[in-house]
Structure 1
């Protein structure tokens, strides 16, 4: 009974082993986990160790007594000191679930924070050249408009979306017959037509100019005389 009580007392002491903080030296050394060592803990502890010992057992060897030597193993507790480094995350990193992870102050919308203030963008987005924290949507075209998500544009005023060409086309109120709308309310006329700036429309040309007639198509006149 006495030996059992003593063993329990020893185990209780081991469970309450004392840790003492000792700063042996501060270093700026880094590891692959984005940590730096800022000091050390010296821990006073007891650890179990296996120990081999010899046990001599008396045996009856018939007319005489003899000894049998047996090797046995037992667990003993030995006091020792363990030096444990103290880490902190490098600048630009924070601890999350025991791991030093990079910090991106805008939470890296549309991407993943892979380094301090540096986002790796999702498919369909690209890094902003002026700010690697931002991921901007990518559109094929979108001239005269704003890319609001991958390949989706909102056109500027006086422009309209052409889904077939995937671009923003200018709007001309006259629709530019016999020509092409090249800018808001600005037509470029086909060959043998000229722009009537008052009507913002392309009118046919007749050469030479006809008197008392109306040019109804290139080099084709209609008489206006009675």
Structure 2
């Protein structure tokens, strides 16, 4: 019965997560859909061992009770209770600069693209023969100035102002010719968005996506590697034994009291105890020393703390 209760509790959790996923109307394959994690609680049924007092009789020397004596013992039976479990689900919404249209996230331009279409936040793609920030000037995307006689020098797919020749950089680029990536810590349209990456992570100059430093994980690299993992992208397994704790970046083991070695696989040598086996046992008269606490175990014939 315990396994049945556990099973139905997790069925409830799975259905809740599935319904939350289906509730999103956005196409999750759309690269302009951003997401974040949110927590919620679900009720689950769990089993536990409930103790109760059981009385039984046994033979004894009590003549008054016909040689029967009462005994007590603690027995256990399976009981059930409700519990709260914290779950996490991904919530989707359009990225900054985009709005929801049907199942897609489409870009928003503050100014209407007169002879073109909005292909990125505040960025118009002009029809052939037109130019300008809002595609209202009759030049193609490669020329500018009087009679469109000057060839644009913009790089990285930047648009060219048909009147001044100034480059309108695509998200992720800057400079007079849009020849440079956004400087560190910024990304996106006009390099105006601040990177949210933490713990020394690098930020993609176009999307703002974080590339975590070794030892960190999460959308913004805000979390340490989970227990048992370390290194780049938290893909390396920790080798520590006997309760040793692995450093999330280097994988170096920090041993508990009583153990030593690269992977905490060796007990302290005789006469030493404590963390890193750094303390010397103070026991006398052939007593042995606990490698973790230093407590003395006296030889026959001796007492005392040491």
* TM beyond 0.5: no
TM-score, normalised with respect to structure 2: 0.27
Which has the higher relative contact order, 1 or 2, with Cα contacts under 8 A spaced 6 or more apart? Answer: 1
More strand as a share of residues: 1
TM-score, normalised with respect to structure 1: 0.34
More helix as a share of residues: 2
Structure of higher CA gyration radius: 1
